[in-house]
Structure 1
Amino acid sequence: MSPPAHASQIKTRFLIISDTHSAVLSTTTPDNVPFRPPLPRADVLLHCGDLTMLGHLHEYEKTLDMLGGIEAELKLVIAGNHDISLDAPFYRRRGQFMHGLKDPDESIPQKARDMWMGPVAKQNGITYLEEGVHHFGLSNGARLKVYASPYQPEFYDWAFPYHRNQDRFNAPHEATPGADPIAENPIPDFPAIDVVMTHGPPWGIRDMTVRDKMSVGCEHLLRAARRCRPRLHCFGHIHEAWGAERVSWKLGEKLGSESKDSVEEAEEVGVREDRMVEERAAYVDISTGGATPLEFGKETLMVNASIMNLRYRPMQGPWLVDLDLDSQ
C-alpha cells in the first residue's frame, strides 16, 4: 500500500534526545560538548525515555525543567527502564528496594504520573505518551501520527520489561512464529504511523553492546517496524550504540520465522563531529527538499539518540531531523 498520491507534504523539524538520566542543560558545559544550551529550535521534540537515573520524584522535576527550556511547539516524552516509578506494577514489586525505603510508599507511581500529566508539564508544552497510537495537529499544518512504547526486553530486572520470547508489538496473527504474543497495543501496519518512539532498539539496528559485543535489540520490534515502515523510528537505551541508520526494508515477500530478515540494507548516517558540536545536534534532512529524500514505505530513518555515553556522561549529541508529514 502506498500513501495517497494527493497528500501534500509539509517539511517538519524534529529534535530527538534520549537517556538524559536527569542531566540538565548547563551554561557551564564545555564548548566541545554538543548537549549544551541552547539546543536547536524544532517543531517537535522527542524524548525516548530514561528521563532519570532511578525514577525519584525530584529527578522528574529536574527533567521537566530541562525540557521546558527547549524551544519546540510539541514535546513528546516516553518513559524508559530507569524511570521505575512510572511503571506501577514494577514499582510495587521492586520500588521499595531500589529506592532504599524502609516502608513501601504506594503513592509514588501516581505522583510520578501526575507530574508528567499535570500543569507543570502542560505549561512546558510536554505530552507524556503511554503505549499506543497518538495523533497531533501542528501549527505548520502538518498531521503527526505516533506510536509510542516504553517497553523493552528484560534488562537486568529494570522497569517496563518483557521476556525475549514474548512478542509485544505484533498482533497474534502477525507475531513471530513460536513467540508468545502479548501485544496489548500492537504497532499498526503501513501507512498508519509517521514516527515510532520506543525506549529500546529493534534487533540489529544501533543495539550493539561494547562489553559483550552482542545485539540486544528486540527481533519482534524489528518485525513490527517492517510492517509499519514509519518515516522515523527513534529510541535509546543502549548508550554506546548512539547513531543513525537509513534502513531499506525487504518487501514483496511474506516474513517467515526470522524477523532478522526484514532489512534489505542499512546505511549508517555519517556525522561530522565538529559540525555537530557547533550546531549542538547531528543534522539529517530527509525531506523532499533535501539531497536524499526518504522514500516513505520503502525506507525508515532509525535513530539512537542516547545523550549519555557508556559512563553516564552527557557527551553525545541530539539529532535534528527534517522530514515530510502529510497535511491535516
Structure 2
Amino acid sequence: MTTTNTPLSSEKVKTRILIISDTHTASLFPSDTHDVPFREPLPKADVLLHCGDMTMIGHLWEYERTLELLSSIDAELKLVIAGNHDISLDEVYYQRKGQYMQMLKEADDSIPARARELMTGARAREAGIRYLDEGTHEFVLKNGAKLRVYASPYQPEFCDFAFPYFRNEDRYNPLHKSTPNSTHIAVNPVPDFPAIDVMMTHGPPMGIRDMTSRNEVVGCEHLLRAARRCKPRLHCFGHIHEGWGAERVRWAEGEGIDAKWEDHVEGSELIEFEGERLRQDRAAVVDVSGSGGDELAFGRETLMVNASIMTLRYQPQQAPFLVDLDLEKA
C-alpha cells in the first residue's frame, strides 16, 4: 500500500521489532547444543524484518527452508525483502544469468515465478509473511500502531549478483533532489520526512556499517542522501556481513546539496553490546522508545542497523536485533 504525508499523531505506541538479514538458508541453532545468539527460540516481537539474502543462490528449496525459519519466529507481521543472493526473485537478472549461477543443465524460465509464489503464496501469508517489492507500504498492527515502510532489495553492483545498479546511478531520490552529477534512475524514490517510519534496504548507506574486511567503504551515497531526506526512525539493512552493528545517526541540518558524508551526518554514536548479554538475550537489544529513557528524536535521528546474521565466513553466529521504538497510533 502506498503511503502519503499524513499529519503525525500525538499518541505513540511502543512497538518491538526483531531484525535479521543475510540468513543464507541458515536454521536456528538448537538451544540445548549451542550458545550462540542465533538459536531457538528468538525473542517474540510485534514485527519481524528480514533485510534480504534469504538464500545462497536462489534455489527453490532454499526459499522453502527460509519459510520454515520465518514461520518458527513469534511475530504478528513478518516483512521480507530480497537481496543480491536471492537471484530468482530478480526476473531480469535470472533470465540473463540464472542458469549459469545455479549450474543448471537446462534453462528453466518458470523458476522466478515459482520463487515469487513461495514468498507470496498462502503458506507465507498464513505465517504472517509479507514479501515487499521496492516502494512504500503501510500496515496497522494489532497493538494499534501504524507502520510505514520503504523497502528496496537493490544495491550497487556487487560481483555481478542480482538487484544491481551502477554506482553513478541514483535509484533513491527524485530527479530534482538527486545526487549531483549522477544518472537518475529512480522509479520508486524514497519519500521525504515524515512519510516513513522504517527503511528496509539490502545494502547499507555510504559510511554507515558498510566497511569490508579490506577496509573498503562500499555503501551507497545516493541511499545516504535519501535516508537523510526521509529521516526514518529506523533504517535496517545487511549485505556486508562484517558491518554487523548499530549506530545512532544525527542528521545535519540544511538542504545538503553536496555528496560528502559530512554534509549529511552531523554525528554518529556507535552502540556497544556485551557478548554474554547477546547470548543470553538471543539478540542485541536497543530501546529508543519514550519509556526506555533514551528516546529517539524523530526527524533528527535515525537508528541504523546492519543485522547480518552471517559472519564474514558465512557462519550464522551474529545476533539479531531487538528494537523497541515508538510508532504513531493508527
- Conserved 8 A contact 1:244-1:304: yes
What residue is the counterpart of 1:151 in the other structure? 154
- Are residues 1:71 and 2:74 paired? yes
Counterpart for residue 251 of structure 2: 249
CA drift at 1:256: 2.1
- Once residues 150 and 160 of structure 1 are traced to their aligned partners in structure 2, the CA distance between those partners, rounded to angstroms, is 6
- Structure 2 CA distance for aligned equivalents of residues 91 and 283 of structure 1: 37
- Tell me, yes or no, if structure 1 residue 32 matches structure 2 residue 35: yes
Q: Does 1:197 align with 2:200?
A: yes
Give the whole-Å Cα distance in 2 for the aligned partners of 1:220 and 1:124. Answer: 34
**Rounded Cα–Cα distance in structure 2 between residues aligned with 1:284 and 1:256:** 32
8 A contact 1:223–1:260 mirrored in 2: no
Moved more, 28-37 or 51-60: 28-37
> Over residues 117-168 of structure 1, what are the superposed CA-to-partner deviations in whole Å (9 max), with x where a residue is unaligned?
1011011110000000000000100000000000000000000000000000
Deviations 1:213-233 (A, max 9, x none): 111000000000000000000
Q: Does the C-alpha gap of structure 1 residues 172 and 317 become closer, same or farther in structure 2, counting only changes over 3 Å?
A: same
Q: What is the CA-CA distance between 1:259 and the residue it aligns to?
A: 5.2
Match of 1:140 in 2: 143
Which stretch shows the higher mean deviation, 265-274 or 38-47?
A: 265-274
The structure-2 alpha-carbon separation of the partners of 1:265 and 1:54, relative to structure 1 and needing over 3 Å to count, comes to same
How far 1:254 moved relative to its partner?
3.7
User: Following TM superposition, by how much is the alpha carbon of 1:257 offset from its aligned partner in structure 2, in angstroms?
Assistant: 3.8
Q: What residue in structure 1 maps to residue 234 of structure 2?
A: 232
Match 2:185 to one of 172, 182, 187: 182
Task: Give the residue type in structure 2 aligned to 1:75.
Answer: K
How much has 1:27 moved relative to structure 2?
Answer: 1.6
Task: Tell me the equivalent position of 2:321.
Answer: 319
Q: Tell me if the contact between 1:219 and 1:260 (Cα under 8 Å) persists in the aligned partners.
A: no
Aligned to 1:80: 83
Q: Does structure 1 conserve the Cα–Cα contact (< 8 Å) formed by 2:285 and 2:322? A: yes
Q: SS in structure 2 opposite 1:289?
A: helix
In structure 1, runs of 5+ residues without a counterpart are none
- The residue that corresponds to 1:53 in the other structure is 56
User: Tell me, what secondary structure is at the counterpart of 1:189?
Assistant: coil
What code does the residue aligned with 2:219 have?
G
Tell me the equivalent position of 2:267. Answer: 265
Report the Cα distance in structure 1 between the residues aligned to 2:323 and 2:286, rounded to whole angstroms: 5
Q: What TM-score does the superposition give when structure 1 sets the normalisation length? A: 0.97
Aligned to 2:282: 280
Letter in 1 for 2:86: D
Q: Which amino acid aligns with 2:228?
A: R
Contact 1:14 1:322 (8 Å CA) reproduced: yes
Q: CA RMSD in A?
A: 1.4
- 1:264–1:62: structure 2 CA closer, same or farther, 3 Å change rule? same
Instruction: Kindly indicate whether the alpha-carbon contact (under 8 Å) linking 1:29 and 1:36 is maintained by their aligned counterparts in 2.
Output: no
Partners of 1:264 and 1:117 in 2: CA distance:
40
Q: 1:3 to 1:266 in 2, by over 3 A?
A: farther
**Cα separation, 1, equivalents of 2:254 and 2:181:** 23
Partner AA of 1:144 in structure 2: L
Q: Distance in 2 between matches of 1:45 and 1:321?
A: 10
Shift of residue 4 of structure 1?
5.1
User: Contact 2:9–2:329 (CA<8 Å) still a contact in 1?
Assistant: no
Q: Say which SS state the counterpart of residue 91 (structure 1) adopts.
A: helix
Residue 94 of structure 2 aligns to a residue whose secondary structure is: helix
Identity %: 62
Q: How far is 1:102 from its partner? A: 1.6
1:96 aligns with 2:103: no
**TM-score, length basis structure 2:** 0.96
Structure 1 residue 5, shift from structure 2 partner: 6.6
Per-residue deviation, 1:325: 0.3
